[in-house]
Amino acid sequence: MRHCDHHVPEAAAELGDSGEAQPQPFEVPPIAANEEVAVHEHLSPGLSHGIDMVYSWPRAMVNRNRVAAQADEAVIIRTREERELERITRPDVQAVIYSPPALPAWFTALAAAVRNGSFRIPRTILSNASADELRNWLGAHLPTGGLDPEVHAALQQDIISLVDRLGVTTGAVRFMLRILTGTPNTECGFHVDTVPPRAPTWGLMRLYNGAGTAYVDPSNVISMDAVYRYLSRRERLARERVAARDDPTASAHLERAIAQLDAERAFLKQPSDVHLAPAGSIVAFKHIDIRLHWSHHPTAMAWIHCSPMEGEPRLLVNVTAWAPGLARRGTHESAR
């Protein structure tokens, strides 16, 4: 099974039941090199780096399932105030994008090491882990390639600070951390990220370098039905492209079909109105409980975003709280 940068593999939902004291790292195979072909020429013109407070209230959608009672007013907050990240706890806030006014100097050195390939980390997921366990794992396993000791230490601390922030705000004591370096490709288009059943639905993502993550304002979304129609078709085309990889003609046809689908963005009222969470930003955003994926849920419940399809390798970290119902330990632990 293949996954976007920060999709939760469905298997990860089972790991927390082990009650093991140590986090359970596993690697997800990287996307094939022959798919790292970027054809997304229509993405750039509409991108925006707007850093301000933006509120959007889309039309109420027709809800036909058990989440129908939840409000559909969706808000994305773009801010330079770090404390605003906490507003993701509000039901109507789909995402908070915090762009620091200035980035620490070590970001530049880290970006260079990721860009030139000296710092690499395979797609790794650590689930059902406490902050201390994550700290220990990072201390033992975070690659050092291409990084001066101070940069390596700063990166570790920065990742742990994401975990600590999530713990303080949610009260969670166990987490899922996803980390990878990867070259952008066209495997995934716009999508929503998922969390295991019953897990808290918001998490933090930090993109350390490279092209930013594209996203759309909820007021621009026609409906989640339209989003899922696009996503379903795109995933089918991507699967067909994998199956046809030894057939150049079929592959080229599918590549064009995917590019066209991405360019049309038929789920948007204004297809060119796409924004960008830039490198260095921290994004607090709503994930969808995997049980509600593909359902008629309100737009406010999940951030609709798209990783870049071309550009330099990027380092990405995503942290979510581990589902309280899945963890057997931790009642004695305190949030950090």
Q: Which is nearer to Fe ion, 154 or 224 (CB)?
A: 224
Work out whether 6 is an interface residue with Fe ion (CB under 5 A): yes
Stretch that binds Fe ion, among 78-86, 138-146, 185-193, 282-290 (CB under 5 A): 185-193
187 binds Fe ion (CB under 5 A): no
Residue 121 or 180: which CB sits closer to Fe ion?
A: 180
Binding segment toward Fe ion, per CB under 5 A, in 14-22, 80-88, 110-118, 192-200? 192-200
Binding segment for Fe ion (CB under 5 A), chosen from 71-79, 143-151, 186-194, 259-267, is 186-194
Q: Which three-class secondary structure string do you get for the chain?
A: CCCCCCCCCHHHHHHHHHCCCCCEEEECCCCCHHHCCCCCCCCHHHCCCCCCCCCCCCCCCCCCCCCCCCCCCCEEEEECCHHHHHHHHCCCEEEEEECCCCCCCHHHHHHHHHHCCCCCCCCEEEEEECHHHHHHHHHHHCCCCCCCHHHHHHHHHHHHHHHHHHHHHHCCCCEEEEEEEECCCCCCCCECCEECCCCCCEEEEEECCCCCEEECCHHHECCHHHHHHHHHHHHHHHHHHHHCCCCHHHHHHHHHHHHHHHHHCCCECCCCCCEEECCCCEEEEECEEHHHCCCCCCHHHCCCEECCCCCCCEEEEEEEECCHHHCCCCCCCCCC
Of residues 251 through 290, those in contact with Fe ion by CB under 5 A are none
Residue 193 binds to Fe ion (criterion: CB under 5 A): yes
206 scored as a contact of Fe ion (CB under 5 A): no
Binding mask 135-174 for Fe ion (x = CB under 5 A): ----------------------------------------
In whole angstroms, the minimum distance from the beta carbon of 105 to Fe ion comes to: 29
Task: Tell me how far, at minimum, the Cβ of 123 lies from Fe ion, in Å.
Answer: 13
Q: Which residues of this chain interact with Fe ion, rule CB under 5 A?
A: 6, 193
